[in-house]
Amino acid sequence: MKLKYLICNLKANKTYDEMLSYKEYLTKIPLNNIEFILAPSSIYLPLFKDTNINLCTQDIALCEKLNLTGDISIHQLKSLDVKYAIIGHFERRKYYKESEYEILEKIKDALENNIKVIYCIGETAEEKERKVEYQVLERQIARILNKLNPKELKNIIIAYEPSYLIGKETTYDILKIRSMIIFIKKLIQDYYGINIEVVFGGSVNNYNIDYLTNIKDLDGFIICSSVLYPENITQIIKKMTIK
Q: pTM of the prediction?
A: 0.95
Q: Is 89 a catalytic residue?
A: yes
Domain that holds residue 231: 5-242
Q: What is the pLDDT of residue 171?
A: 73
Q: What is the pLDDT of residue 66?
A: 81
64, 123, 133, 161: which one is catalytic?
A: 161
64, 89, 105, 123: which one is catalytic?
A: 89
- The 8 Å CB, 24+ separation contacts for 221-226 are 221/3, 221/5, 221/6, 221/7, 222/5, 222/7, 222/9, 222/86, 222/118, 222/120, 222/159, 222/161, 223/6, 223/7, 223/8, 223/9, 224/8, 224/9, 224/10, 224/11, 224/166, 224/167, 225/167
Domain count, the chain: 1
Average pLDDT, consecutive stretches of 10 residues, N- to C-terminus, the chain (243 residues): 89 98 94 94 96 95 84 93 97 94 96 97 95 97 96 97 83 90 97 96 91 92 96 95 75
Q: What is the pLDDT of residue 242?
A: 78
Q: What is the pLDDT of residue 243?
A: 60
The CATH number given to whatever domain includes residue 18 is 3.20.20.70
Cα distance between residue 123 and residue 129, in whole Å: 10
Q: What is the pLDDT of residue 65?
A: 75
Report the sign of the C-alpha dihedral through residues 179, 198, 122, 235, in that order: positive
